Amino acid sequence: MTIEKLQLADDESLECIAIDLRTTKHKNRLLEFLEYRSPTSGDVKYKIQAGWTDAMFHPTMHLEDSDILMLSKLFNEWADKIKNRRSEHN
CA distance 8 to 43: 16
Residue 89 in any domain: the answer is no
49-80 pLDDT, tens digit per residue, is 887 766 666 677 788 899 999 999 999 998 99
CA distance 77 to 56: 31
Residue 44 has pLDDT above 70, yes or no: yes
What is the count of structural domains for the chain? 1
Residue 90 in any domain: the answer is no
Predicted local distance difference test score (pLDDT) of residue 76:
94
Residue 69 in any domain: the answer is no
Residue 88 in any domain: the answer is no
7-21 pLDDT, tens digit per residue, is 887 666 888 998 988
Residue 11 in any domain: the answer is yes
Residue 17 in any domain: the answer is yes
Residue 75 in any domain: the answer is no
- CB 72: neighbour CB atoms within 10 A? 11
Predicted local distance difference test score (pLDDT) of residue 28:
80
